[in-house]
């Protein structure tokens, strides 16, 4: 009864943050670490898939009726046996794994095409495994990966042409690059009955503005012309979207003279969002167009914990006005009024309003794990249970610790805003020396906080550990828990000036353990931060476990 009442109060506090200005929506439309968005439309429903790199389950799929309210409905990679052979997410390196998917629908089937990147330390080589998965429903189940042999590069696109042909649009480093980082887009037909590349390979385009790191291609057909859109310039401040056109899918392609069509290159490094790019276009039933693109918020030190997130912008097609041109091409103009991602933008459909669900609660009363929970790599066997103690998530301690290419008793959900309050209640009675359990805030294997109860020489302590790149993990705060009886509640608050770490026992008020700066786990590259749970026996065999009663995360928008 007490738990039900508590969760009722939590859920009341955890309501949607509704944008009262119903004529506008707020970007990002999918907050948190959701990079490299690709979008398709089936009937009156839109679907977006995103990159997940080393995380499992992989390839999250959201759906929406109005382009501004998105619901997580499943994952393309949701079974362990999809990810243990050629698509290896068992011991994949950080920032390897699943890169830049494309989602498309054709004749009753959904298709996702993407790359798994796996680095071999012993040989200093990298595998680029390009594959397709299919499903009749976007919720799944999704098929086993169909690997396309002989397909180099990353970020593939699949294009279904009007004549029935299916095309692979890929990237690679050309045979004789003019400079380091030069990329090239190539095209080849796919036999989707046998999952093979067939026919001649065509080399299409090396980009528009220098061609550095040309990637993320998408092919579109409009008014019998083929449009090839790419990302270019890397994933930082010079990231941009370029486009070219051809009368034939095999080329030659003519670059838009006004490229890039989306970028923050022309803006201050201190703009509210930067590094916008890696985009995908979508046409509405009424002929209007929109584009989804990633961007990085500049909340802290020109970055954020959330990393690359999904944004939405309007698109308007305009024909070239030049009288002297024999062929006057049409080109997409992104955000025609301002040319950039705006925090607030007019809603795509009249009469709709945005409900921004920035928060997350779980009381573990369901028989299956909430879709929001993720693991770094495919999780260890028997790492958690929702059955051992009803109404609790039991996280089993393993000898494993957090380390590069490793798997541990570690799970989490995405951070959605820089400012938040994160609470979790845990029961833990360790029997093994150096056994610990608690909460985590993790960016990478070498960049995280853990706030845990640890047993050392029959004494229980609470400790805060910080790991930063190129540094050995450091315990930055530690106190004995003489009155510890097994139950503890953790709280972390994040504000512009820093983090505050608290704990409470036996129904007492929260006690501050430590305050830190707010920039310790900023996203450095591809993924965003996760908040969650952690348990470890630090190398010893144990039967220890932690039972988590509930978790509540409430995020606060910056205006």
Do both 370 and 401 map to the same domain? Answer: yes
Nearest to 410 by CA among 396, 421, 424, 420: 396
Look at residue 7 and tell me if it is in a domain: no
Tokens 């047993």, residue located: 455
Task: For residue 434, count other CB atoms closer than 10 A to its CB.
Answer: 15
Boundary of a domain, candidates 315, 333, 356? 356
Tell me, what's the pLDDT at 511? 97
| Domain span at 150 | 17-356
Same domain, 302 and 392: no
Apex CA 363: angle with CA 475 and CA 365, to 5°?
135
Alpha-carbon gap, residue 272 to 225, rounded angstroms: 36
* DSSP state string for 332-345: EEESTTTSS--SEE
| CB proximity list for 210: less than 8 A, separation 6 or greater | 232, 233
Helix (H) or strand (E) holding 392: none
Buried b (16+ CB within 10 A) or exposed e, 31-43: bbbbbbbbbbeee
Whole-angstrom distance, CA of residue 5 vs CA of residue 391: 14
**pLDDT of 53-112, one tens digit each?**
999 999 999 999 999 999 999 999 999 999 988 899 999 999 999 999 999 999 999 999
Is residue 49 a contact partner of residue 98, using CB atoms and an 8 Å limit?
A: no
DSSP label of 141: P
Q: Choose the catalytic residue: 54, 215, 299, 547.
A: 215
- What CA–CA distance (Å, rounded) separates 116 from 89? 8
Nearest to 294 by CA among 280, 315, 314: 280
Are 364 and 352 found together in one domain?
no
User: Which of 307, 325, 356 marks a domain boundary?
Assistant: 356
Weakest mean pLDDT among 17-26, 308-317, 358-367 = 17-26
Write down the mean pLDDT value for the chain: 94
Task: Calculate the dihedral angle through the C-alpha atoms of 139, 216, 249, 211, rounding to the nearest 10 degrees.
Answer: 180
The reported pTM is 0.95
Asked whether residue 343 falls in the same domain as residue 425, the answer is no
**Catalytic annotation present for 215:** yes
pLDDT, residue 209, reads: 85
Q: What are phi and psi of 341, to 5 degrees?
A: -70, 125
Q: If pLDDT is split at 50, 70 and 90, which confidence band does 18 have?
A: low
pLDDT-based confidence at residue 214 (cuts at 50, 70, 90): very high
Residue 2, domain member (yes or no)? no
Same domain as 301, residue 223: yes
Examine residue 11 and state whether it is found in any structural domain, yes or no: no
Query: What is residue 12's DSSP assignment?
Result: H
Handedness of CA 14, 34, 93, 84 (dihedral sign): positive
3-state SS, one letter per residue, for 77-124: ECCHHHCCCCCCCCCCCCCCEEEEEEEEEECCEEEEEEEEEEEECCCC
> Which two three-digit tokens encode residue 250?
């095999």
- How many residues in the chain? 559
Our CA angle for 472, 476, 477, nearest 5°, is 145
How many helices (H) does the chain have, and how many strands (E)?
1, 41
Query: b/e map of 309-320 (b: 16 or more CB within 10 Å)?
Result: bbbbbbbeeeee
Q: What are all long-range contacts of 105-109, with beta carbons under 8 Å and residues at least 24 apart?
A: 105/40, 105/41, 105/42, 105/47, 106/160, 106/166, 108/136, 109/134, 109/135, 109/136
Q: How many domains, in total, are found in the chain?
A: 2
Contact residues for 509 (Cβ-Cβ < 8 A; gap 6+): none
455 and 307 within one domain: no
- Asked whether residue 475 carries a pLDDT value surpassing 90, the answer given is yes
Q: What pLDDT shows up at residue 154?
A: 97
Question: 475 and 538, same structural domain?
Answer: yes
- 541 lies in a domain? yes
420 plus 346 within the same structural domain: no
Contact 27, 557 (CB under 8 A): no
CA distance 361 to 392: 13
Residue 281 pairs in a beta bridge with: 291
- Please give the pLDDT value at position 21: 53
Q: Return the CATH number at 110.
A: 2.115.10.20
Identify which of 361, 367, 408 has the alpha carbon closest to the alpha carbon of residue 386: 367
* Domain CATH number, residue 394: 2.60.120.200
* Residue 30 pLDDT greater than 80, yes or no: yes
- Give, as one character, the DSSP assignment of residue 215: E
For 508, phi then psi, to 5°, come to -80, 175
* Better-predicted residue by pLDDT, 130 or 212: 130
Rounded percentage of the chain residues whose pLDDT exceeds 90: 90
Query: Can you give the pLDDT at residue 4?
Result: 46
* 496 and 441 assigned to the same domain: yes
- Concatenated DSSP letters for 531-557? EEEEEE-TTS----EEEEEEEEEEEE-
CA dihedral 459, 463, 466, 472 (to 10 degrees): -20
Q: Which of residues 321, 341, 356 is at a domain's end? A: 356
Measured from the Cβ of residue 397, the count of other Cβ atoms closer than 10 Å reads 27
Residues 391 and 503 in one domain: yes
Q: Do 364 and 350 share a domain, yes or no?
A: no
| Residues 115/97, Cβ–Cβ less than 8 Å | no
Q: How confident is the model at residue 176 (pLDDT cuts 50, 70, 90)?
A: confident
Of residues 285, 188, 283, 294, the one with CA closest to residue 236: 294
pLDDT, one tens digit per residue, over 7-17 is 444 444 444 44
Residue 179 lies in a domain: yes
Residue located via tokens 């009007």: 162
Give the model's pLDDT for residue 14: 44
Q: How many CB atoms lie within 10 A of CB 194?
A: 8
Q: What is the structure's pLDDT at 19?
A: 52
Domain contains 128: yes
Q: For residue 538, give the nearest of 475, 479, 468, 483 by alpha carbon.
A: 475
Q: Is 538's pLDDT higher than 90?
A: yes
pLDDT > 70: what percent of the chain? 96
Establish if 515 belongs to a structural domain. yes
pLDDT tens, 352-365? 999 988 999 999 99
Asked if the structure places residue 114 within a domain, the reply is yes
Peptide bond preceding 47 in cis form (omega within 30 of 0): no
Is-catalytic flag, 144? no
- Do 148 and 201 lie in one domain? The reply is yes
Helices (H), 255-378: none
């Amino acid at each position: 009864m007490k738990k039900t009442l508590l969760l009722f109060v939590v859920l009341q506090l955890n309501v949607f943050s509704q944008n009262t200005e119903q004529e506008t929506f707020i970007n990002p439309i999918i907050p948190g670490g959701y990079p490299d968005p690709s979008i398709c439309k089936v009937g009156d429903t839109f679907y977006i898939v995103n990159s997940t790199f080393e995380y499992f389950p992989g390839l999250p799929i959201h759906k929406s009726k109005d382009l501004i309210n998105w619901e997580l409905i499943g994952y393309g990679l949701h079974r362990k046996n999809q990810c243990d052979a050629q698509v290896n997410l068992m011991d994949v390196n950080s920032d390897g794994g699943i890169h830049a998917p494309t989602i498309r629908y054709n004749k009753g089937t959904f298709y996702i095409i993407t790359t798994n990147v796996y680095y071999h330390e012993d040989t200093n080589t990298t595998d680029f495994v390009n594959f397709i998965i299919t499903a009749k429903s976007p919720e799944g189940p999704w098929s086993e990966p169909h690997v396309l042999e002989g397909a180099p590069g990353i970020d593939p696109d699949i294009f279904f042409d009007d004549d029935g042909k299916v095309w692979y649009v890929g990237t690679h480093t050309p045979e004789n690059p003019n400079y380091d980082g030069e990329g090239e887009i190539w095209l080849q037909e796919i036999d989707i009955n046998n999952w093979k590349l067939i026919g001649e390979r065509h080399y299409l385009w090396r980009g528009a503005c220098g061609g550095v790191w040309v990637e993320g291609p998408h092919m579109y057909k409009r008014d019998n012309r083929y449009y090839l859109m790419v990302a270019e310039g890397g994933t930082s401040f010079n990231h941009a979207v370029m486009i070219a056109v051809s009368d034939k899918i095999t080329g030659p392609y003519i670059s838009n003279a006004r490229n890039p069509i989306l970028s923050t290159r022309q803006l201050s490094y201190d703009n509210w969002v930067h590094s916008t790019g890696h985009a995908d276009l979508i046409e509405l039933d009424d002929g209007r167009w929109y584009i989804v693109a990633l961007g990085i918020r500049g909340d802290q030190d020109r970055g954020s914990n959330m990393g690359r997130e999904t944004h939405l912008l309007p698109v308007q097609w305009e024909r070239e006005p030049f009288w002297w041109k024999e062929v006057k091409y049409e080109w997409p103009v992104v955000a025609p009024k301002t040319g950039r991602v705006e925090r607030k933008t007019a809603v795509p459909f009249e009469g709709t309003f945005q409900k921004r669900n920035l928060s997350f609660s779980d009381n573990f009363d369901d028989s299956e794990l909430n879709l929001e929970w993720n693991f770094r790599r495919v999780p260890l066997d028997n790492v958690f249970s929702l059955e051992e103690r009803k109404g609790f998530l039991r996280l089993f301690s393993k000898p494993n610790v957090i380390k590069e290419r490793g798997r541990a008793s570690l799970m989490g959900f995405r951070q959605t805003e820089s400012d938040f309050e994160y609470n979790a209640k845990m029961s833990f009675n360790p029997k093994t020396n150096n056994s610990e359990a608690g909460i985590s805030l993790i960016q990478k294997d070498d960049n995280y906080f853990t706030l845990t109860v640890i047993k050392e020489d029959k004494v229980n302590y609470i400790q805060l550990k910080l790991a930063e790149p190129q540094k050995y993990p450091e315990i930055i705060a530690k106190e004995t828990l003489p009155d510890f009886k097994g139950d503890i509640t953790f709280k972390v608050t994040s504000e512009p000036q820093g983090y505050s770490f608290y704990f409470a026992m036996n129904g007492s008020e929260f006690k501050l353990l430590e305050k830190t700066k707010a920039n310790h786990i900023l996203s450095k590259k591809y993924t965003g931060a996760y908040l969650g749970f952690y348990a470890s026996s630090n190398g010893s065999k144990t039967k220890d476990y932690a039972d988590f009663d509930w978790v509540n995360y409430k995020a606060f928008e910056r205006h």
